[in-house]
Structure formats: C-alpha cells, structure tokens
Amino acid sequence: MTKWIPAVLAACIALAAPPTVQAAVAAEDAYVLYKDAILIDGTGARPQGPATLLVKGERIEKVWMGNAIAFKLPPGSQVIDASGLYVLPGLINSHEHLATPPNRPFAEAQMRRDLYGGVTTVRDMADDLRQLADLARAARVGELAGPDIRYAALMAGPEFFEDPRTHAVSAGAVAGHTPWMQAIDAKTDFKLAVALARGTGASAIKIYADLPAERVKAITAEAHRQGIPVWAHAAVFPARPSDVIAAKADAVSHVCMLAYEVSDPIPKAYHHRAAVDAARLGQGDNPVVGKLLARMKAQGTVLDATLFVYAGLDASHAANPKGPTPYCTTEIAARLTDQARRAGVTISAGTDGFSDAADPYPAIYQELELLVAKAGFTPLEAIRAGTEAGALAIEAHPDFGIIAPGKLANLMFTARDPSTDIGALRSVVMTVKRGVIYRRADYNPQTDAAQRKDD
C-alpha cells in the first residue's frame, strides 16, 4: 500500500503547482540578420533597398543598404532571407480599449490578432487597470502573444461617473473613487490625484469629460510636473478644444471634437452634447479650427483622429435610420483630418474599436485605409500615422515607431508594397516584437474569432 503513496503525492503536487510558461523573450546576446528586404522606415521617407537589419536581443543593432553584410556575425547567428519582402516598423494603434468591460478571453484574442497582424504596441485609453496591468505585464514578458500596452488612468468630472462603463471597470470599488478612475472637482488635491494615477503604472492621464478649463489646466500642469503625459479628448465639455490645447495636453483624441470650437454655446456635459454644428463649420477649411491646428503644430500636440469611429457611426445609422443621429459624419471627420494633415499636425492612427470578429486582420488596417481614401493621405503618410506618429502619441521621445539603430526591434514584413497600396498590409507574413518572431502562418484567426465574440 505504501508503494503508491509517493506517486499519489507527486501527482497532487504536480496538479497544485502552477503551469510552467515558456516566455517568448529574445536572448540579450542573440543575433538575427534580416537580409535584403525593401525598407520603409516609418518616417515618411521613400522605400530603400535592398536593406539588411541586424537585431541583437530586442533592439536593432545596425541597418545598412546593399547586398554586402557589413558585419562579422558571431557563431550561432540566425540569418533570415527577406528578399522580396517589405519591412516597416511594427504598427501602433493609438486608441484601443482592451478591458471595458474586463473580458480576459476577448482581450487575449484581440491581442493575438493585433500582434500577428503587425501591431506591436497599443495605446489603451483607460479601462479596468487591474486587468489591463496584468495583460500588459504578460505581453511584455512573453507569457502571451500580444503587443506592448501603454495605458492611461482616467480623470473626469463627477457627473461622468453616472456612465455605466465606469461602473463596469470599477467593479468591487466605487466608480470615480479609484486610482484608475477619479472624479475631479473643486476640492481635489491635484498632487495626490496625479500621484495615485501614476501608482497604477499608467503611462499617462486621460482627461475625459465634464471638466471646466481651469481644471483641465490644473490636471495637465500637475501631471507634467510629475513627469507623466496627458492624453485628452479634444473637447472636454464645458472645456472647449482651445482650452484643452492651451492647457498643453500632449495628445488629443477624436478629430470631430475639434469642430465644437465653432459651437455657440459649447455643450456643458459629455452625455448631453448636441451634434457638431455643420452649418457653422461650413465647407472647406474652417479658419477657427485652423487656429487650433496651428497651435497644435507649434507645441507638438498629436491628433488621434479615429476615422474608424465615425465610419462605424455612419454604418450603424444607415442600418438603423430611426436610431440616434451620429454627432459627426465620416465626411466631416475626414475633412477636418485632411485640414490637420495639410497644417502639419502630427496625426496618429487610432481606432477606438475593433473590426468584426470574423475579420482576420486588426482594425488599424481600416483606419489607415480611411486616411488614404478619405483624408488625402498618401500610403507613406498613413504608414507614418501608424508607426512614428503613434509612438509620439504615447511619449515625446519613443524608442520605437521607426526603423533605426538603437530602436526596439518591432518590425512588420509584408509580401506586397504598402507604400503604393496601403491595402498591401494584408499581405503580412511576419511580425517581430522586441526581437521575437511571430509568423503569420502560425496564426489561426478562426480560433480567435470564436473567442472574440461579444458577450
């Protein structure tokens, strides 16, 4: 009888022990050479090639043109023949929500679809940071396949916390009274509020809604004093777009909200806002908006345009004409984005939503296609919106977003040329994130489609 006791105990111990996870992290001293690809560096420059990239660990060590390898490879180096392929920086979606409400299977499926679609970084614009922080950690250390996640802690006026989404992301606590979802009023200690937000591990503070200009300014000033960026809605109600920009928010979201600068009066609260005043906005370039754009360019404010949102609103209204009228149309959003582009504003590619569960590619492809089809972007300008500009929406001096020595080895390889046809992103064959290779052939979109189905 005693002979089987050790075996039973061993089995019990094995069941109780946590599973071993093989982390997908590049070895610091591992060299990988990607040879003879056509280089699209993410800055808007024309393609060059053939180009050879040497990656050491998680960073790009060298980039050179021509067929000759200008480096003696250490023994054991991996050489990948990329001839016939195009290489560009890993894409950056500057507006996602991976945990509103928290749904871990959905989020993991979405992250896989992003990564195998070439997205190596996402800017998450405020969710339940308890789950999001763990998703970010797991993706960073390679426990799950997904992009790096940079995320925001949210601040808004007390009225906003009647929104049911805030309760969904604060379950177990009180919405508006958590470090990741804070209600701001005249009595708020701004130093403490910003410190609490920083304590969540957030990369930024998001200013959302229902705050007057003086509080937007106070939050932004204190956040900058404590060394953390501010990402804001372009209108915060009753704070006008000019108030948000004057406060020096680092990035503003939703291009149509700039149109509220011509509204008189501006709506007093986020949930009680009228549609943008198309008649006052007029046709062509609006001079009032033009002044906002000039200031944004001068101070380096990034615009997260989110055309995908407005296209979705139009589609929903077309499917249900008796439903709520969208507050802004794709036509107005595209016209304002084009004006911003021509004004020299840095425009990033964010979606604030996901493509259909059955779509095997991430929504950022649609955002980039809308920029080209509707807002006057060339494919190279759209690629910059989804790479370098997306990185600038996250932080002022990013170590990702372009292909250059010293930057993170976040790369996307395609079989067709996206610099002439932005739809060629759908020919993705391989993603490299922090030096780790993810081949498109290893991705099963049907499995993730089933896992991503909405509740």
- The domain of 38 spans 24-69+85-90+400-440
Give, for 314, the enclosing helix (H) or strand (E). helix 307-319
Which of 152, 100, 163 lies closest to 124, judged by CA?
152
pLDDT tens-place string over residues 162-220: 999 999 999 999 999 999 999 999 999 999 999 999 999 999 999 999 999 999 999 99
- Is 277 a member of any domain? yes
Does 5 reside within a domain? Answer: no
3-state secondary structure at position 287:
helix
pLDDT per position as a tens digit, 125-163: 999 999 999 999 999 999 999 999 999 999 999 999 999
- Verify that 253 and 353 share a domain, yes or no: yes
Q: Nearest-CA neighbor of 61 among 388, 384, 403, 401? A: 403
389 & 418 share domain? no
Asked, for residue 80, whether it belongs to a domain, the answer is: no
pLDDT for 453: 67
Residue-level pLDDT at 169: 97
Q: Check whether 240 has a pLDDT greater than 70.
A: yes
Model pTM score: 0.93
Instruction: Provide the number of structural domains found in the chain.
Output: 2
Shared domain check, 277 and 287:
yes
> 318 is written with which tokens?
């077309």
Residue 153: strand, helix, or coil: strand
Q: Are residues 422 and 436 in the same domain?
A: yes
Is the Cβ–Cβ distance between 135 and 141 less than 8 Å?
no
Q: In terms of domains, do 425 and 328 share one?
A: no
Question: Same domain, yes or no, for 380 and 436?
Answer: no
Does some domain include residue 374? yes
Return the biggest CA–CA distance within the chain: 89
- The answer to whether residues 374 and 426 belong to one domain is no
CA distance 370 to 72: 44
pLDDT at res. 447? 85
Q: For residues 232 and 258, is the Cβ–Cβ distance under 8 A?
A: no
Q: The domain that contains 406 carries what CATH number?
A: 2.30.40.10
More confident residue, 67 or 52: 52
Q: Which two tokens stand for residue 242?
A: 């000019």
**Is the residue at 229 inside a domain?**
yes
116 lies in the same domain as 214 = yes
**What is the reported pLDDT for 26?**
87
Give the residue, 363 or 23, on which the prediction is more confident.
363
Residue 317's domain is classified under what CATH number?
3.20.20.140
Is the same domain home to 65 and 103?
no
Summarize the confidence of residues 249-271 as an average pLDDT.
95
Q: How far apart are the first and last CA of the chain?
A: 50
Residue 70: predicted pLDDT: 65
Strands 148-156 and 181-183: what pairing? parallel
Residues 363 and 408 in one domain: no
Band of pLDDT at residue 10, cut at 50, 70 and 90: very low
Same domain flag for 351 and 425: no
pLDDT tens digit sequence for 270-286: 998 899 999 999 999 99
- Residue 12 lies inside a defined structural domain of this protein: no
Q: Is 15 part of a structural domain of the chain?
A: no
In this structure, what are the phi and psi dihedrals at residue 67, rounded to the nearest 5 degrees?
A: -85, -25
Q: Are residues 158 and 219 in the same domain?
A: yes
CB 385 within 8 A of CB 351: no
Structural domain contains residue 9: no
Instruction: Reply yes or no on whether the pLDDT at 448 is more than 70.
Output: yes
